[in-house]
Structure 1
Amino acid sequence: MIIDGLPGGGAEKVVLTLSKGLVDRGHQVVLFSLRTVCDYTIPEGVDFQIVADACKKPWRKLTELDRRAALLDEAVAAAETAGGRFDLVLSHLHKTDRIVSRCKRLRPEITWFCIHGVFSASYLSRRKGVSRWLKKCKTRSVYRHRNLIGVSQYVIDDLKEVFHVRPNQNRVIFNPFDFDAIRQLSLEPCSLEGTDYLIHVGRFHQTKRHDRLLRAYAKSTLTVPLVLIGQGSSEATAALKRLAEELNIADRVIFQGFTSNPYPWIRHARELIVSSDSEGFGNVLVEALICGTPIVSTRCPGGPVSIMTGDLARGLAEMNEDSLAATMKAIYQHPPAIADLDLTIYSIEAVCQQYLDLITLE
C-alpha cells in the first residue's frame, strides 16, 4: 500500500481498513506513507513505513516527483530484500499516483492505481484554457496504459471520457467496511445520545459544500441541532461559522471537530447528510447504514447514486439548497426502512477477496 500521508480522510481510512483485512487473512502488508502526517491508529500487524522527503533546496518543487520516486524505490527495494517480492502494489490518491508512476522498482503488471474521486470535479472545475488542457495531459500521462481500480464505475468512466485515459486493465471494487468493528465502536459514549440531531461527517473542503448544507438546513425549518464532524483550515472554519451567524442558525450548529471515532455520533443521529459536489464513493453513507442511520445525499457525480437504490433513493436530492432542504425534512419525517438492508457487497471479506483476485491476473 502506498499513500501520500494519513490525515483524517475517507481514502486514508479505506487504506487502513483494507490493510487490516488483508493482515487478518494471513497476508503481509507494507504500508508506505509519503508524509509523516497520521491522524489514525495503524492496525496491528501492518508494517508501516514513512518515506518522507526532507529536501529543502530552492528548486525542490522542480525535482519533487523524480526525487520522491527514487526515495520510494529505495524503500521498496529494502522491503523486498527483507520480506520477498511484492505480489500486489496498490497506489492511493493522485499525488501518490504521480510519484508511483515514475518508480522504476515497481512492476507495472502488479501495480494498480486506486481512483477514489471524480477527477473532473476535483481538478478541472476551476480551470480553463491552457491550464485545463495541461492538467488533462498530465493526468492522462500518469494513468495511460496502467491498471486502474475505481471505487465506483463513475470515477473510471470520468477518467476515460474526460481525460481520454486508456487503461491497461480496469476494475470497480467498492470500499471495504469492517461491520463488526464499526458497530462495536458505535457503542462508545456520545454526549448527544438520547436527543434528536442531524449530522454531517467530512473535512471542510470546497467539494463537500458545507455552505450548501448550512443554507439547506436553514431552509428546512428543522430545529434539531446540526452536528459537523470534521476539520479544515482556520480560514474555512471561520467562514462556515460566519455563514451560520448570517443564517441565524449558529446556536443550532455544533462544530465538533475531527474525531477518529465518529460512529457513536452517527449511530444516534436522526439522519446523516452528504451535501457534496462530487463523491468518488461516499464512505460515510455506507457507515451510516451499518449504524442504522437514515441517509440523505445530493445526487452528485460518483458513488451515492449506486449506494442509494430502492427506497433509499428517496434520500437523493438535486444539487441545490432548496432540494436538499426538502429532502432533509422528508427523510427526517418519514425515514426509509434500513434494518433489513443487505450490505454484504461492502463487507471487508468480500472486498478483500476482490483485491486478492487481482494477484492471479499477473
Structure 2
Amino acid sequence: MKVAIVIDSLVGGGAEKVMLTLAGELLAQQHEVVILSLANSIEYTLPSQLNVECLFDHKAKKVDRFWQLKNSVKRIENWFAQYQSKNGEFDLVLSNLDRSNNLLICSTIKHVFYVIHNSITAELNRQKKLGPFAYQYLLKSKKRLSGQNLICVSEGIESEIKQQKLIAPQSITTIFNPFNVQSIVKKASETELGLPREPYIIHVGRLAKQKRHDVLFSAFANLNTSHKLVLLCNKVNKAAKLGRQHGIEDRLILPGFQQNPYAWIKGADALVLSSDYEGLPTVLIEALILGTPVVSTDCTHGPKEILTGNLAKYLVPTNNPEALTQAIESVLNDKPEVVDAEILSKISATQVAESYLALAQNR
C-alpha cells in the first residue's frame, strides 16, 4: 500500500515519534511511505530508507490562518497531485496535529484519517488561558473535525469525543500507539555517555505547561531521598531556572533532548509523569517495556489505560504535589515488576500497523 503521513513538523514531540515508529514498521512490511512535514523542522535522526519532504521552507507557524489558508491548501493539493502523478494514488493519508488537519480538511485530498493525540477538552481549556484569539483558533480547528474519519490513540479520547458533542465524526476508532519493542530494548543496551552514577528518577518530555514541571519539582523538593532528578527536555536553561525557584537546582541533571532516551530510562529507579493531560503517554509504555517502574498523574487521557491492575496504585490526582511525592516514595520502596503489564500485549508496532492498514482496506 501507499501511505502518506502529514504532520506539522518533526521536532522532538510524542506525535512525531509515534508516526516515525509507524512509518518504520510500514516500511519493514514493504509498504510505500512518505512523511510530509509542513515545517522544515526536523530533530529526529531519520531512517535512510524513509522518504521525508517538507511543504514549506520555514517553521510553518501560521500557514493555516485565514489570510494564508487558501494558498496553503493549494500548495498541499499541488504536492499531492505531483507526487501521485509519479507514484500512484495513496491508499491512506494520516493527518496529525492542528495545522495539518486544517489544511487537509479544507482540501480535496482523499482517503484522509485524522489522528487525535490529545484530550480535546484539555487542549481547549489550556487555550482559554492564552486569550480569546488563541482559543477561537483552536475551537474552530477542532470543530472542523466534524464529518471526518478520526483515529484516537486512547479509548479515553474516543469516549470524550463521543460524550462532549463538539465534534460529530463520520467515523471514529481507537488504535493505540505503536512500539518497536525489540528496537527499544536494543537501544537501551547501547552505551550512553553521561549516564549518572548515582541513583535517579527521570522525567521525559518537553518543557511545556501541559507537562507541569512545577508540580514535579514541588513533589521532588519534598522527597526524602538521595536520588537525583534527570530531565530529558528542551529549554534546559528555563528548566534550571525553575529548579532554582523550587530549591532543587543541585539535585537536577539536565542533559537536554536525547535522540536515544532508552538507556537513561532503563537506568532510572522510576519514571514520573506529572502532566495535566495527555493522549496515550508514550514514555510510560517505553518505561514499562524496559522494566522501569512508573508514577503518573491520572490525567486525561491514557495513564489509567496503561497502569492497570497492581500498577493502578501509582496513579495520583493531577496538580497534587503531595500525592505525587507519596507515590514516588511508594514506587521506590516497592520496586514493582512491570514487564508483564497488560498494555504491553496491545502495542506492538506490527499489530498497530495492521490496524492502520485495515482502515484503507475497509473504507
The normalised TM-score by structure 2 is 0.91
Structure 2 unaligned regions, length at least 5:
none
Q: 1:358 — aligned with what?
A: 359
Q: 1:329 — aligned with what?
A: 329
8 A Cα contact 2:64 2:99, kept in partner: no
- Cα deviation, 1:18-57, whole Å, max 9, x if unaligned, reads 001011101001111101100012223322111116699x
8 A Cα contact 2:211 2:274, kept in partner: yes
Structure-2 change in CA distance of 1:55 and 1:70 (3 Å): farther
Q: 1:147 — aligned with what?
A: 149
8 A Cα contact 1:92 1:115, kept in partner: yes
8 A Cα contact 1:136 1:163, kept in partner: no
8 A Cα contact 1:179 1:290, kept in partner: yes
8 A Cα contact 1:118 1:280, kept in partner: yes
Separation in 2, partners of 1:240, 1:268: 22
Q: 2:231 — aligned with what?
A: 228
Structure-2 change in CA distance of 1:137 and 1:93 (3 Å): closer
Q: Which amino acid aligns with 1:327?
A: A
- Counterpart of 1:38 (choices 24, 37, 42) is 42
Alignment of 1:142-181 (within 5 A): 142-162=144-164, 164-181=166-183
Separation in 2, partners of 1:315, 1:35: 38
Separation in 2, partners of 1:331, 1:217: 14
Structure 1 unaligned regions, length at least 5:
none
Structure-2 change in CA distance of 1:160 and 1:95 (3 Å): farther
Number of matched pairs: 354
Separation in 2, partners of 1:60, 1:354: 30
1:192 aligns with 2:195: yes
Q: Which amino acid aligns with 1:330?
A: S
Offset of residue 262 of structure 1:
0.4
Aligned partner of residue 255 in structure 2, secondary structure: strand
Q: Which amino acid aligns with 2:208?
A: H
Structure-2 change in CA distance of 1:225 and 1:172 (3 Å): same
Q: Which amino acid aligns with 2:358?
A: D
Offset of residue 246 of structure 1:
3.3
8 A Cα contact 1:226 1:252, kept in partner: yes
Offset of residue 192 of structure 1:
2.9
Provide the aligned C-alpha RMSD in A: 2.3
Separation in 1, partners of 2:59, 2:209: 30
Structure 1 stretch 332-341 or stretch 284-293: which is displaced more?
332-341
8 A Cα contact 2:63 2:99, kept in partner: no
Separation in 1, partners of 2:68, 2:292: 44
Structure-2 change in CA distance of 1:45 and 1:136 (3 Å): closer
Aligned partner of residue 112 in structure 1, secondary structure: strand
- Cα deviation, 1:230-275, whole Å, max 9, x if unaligned, reads 103xxxx545323322332211111111011100000010000000
- Counterpart of 2:32 (choices 21, 28, 33) is 28
Q: Which amino acid aligns with 1:350?
A: Q
Q: 2:294 — aligned with what?
A: 295
8 A Cα contact 1:196 1:225, kept in partner: yes
Separation in 2, partners of 1:336, 1:163: 40
1:259 aligns with 2:252: no
Offset of residue 204 of structure 1:
0.3
8 A Cα contact 2:9 2:42, kept in partner: yes
1:6 aligns with 2:7: no
Q: Which amino acid aligns with 2:90?
A: F
Separation in 1, partners of 2:278, 2:63: 35
Q: 1:125 — aligned with what?
A: 126
8 A Cα contact 1:89 1:111, kept in partner: yes
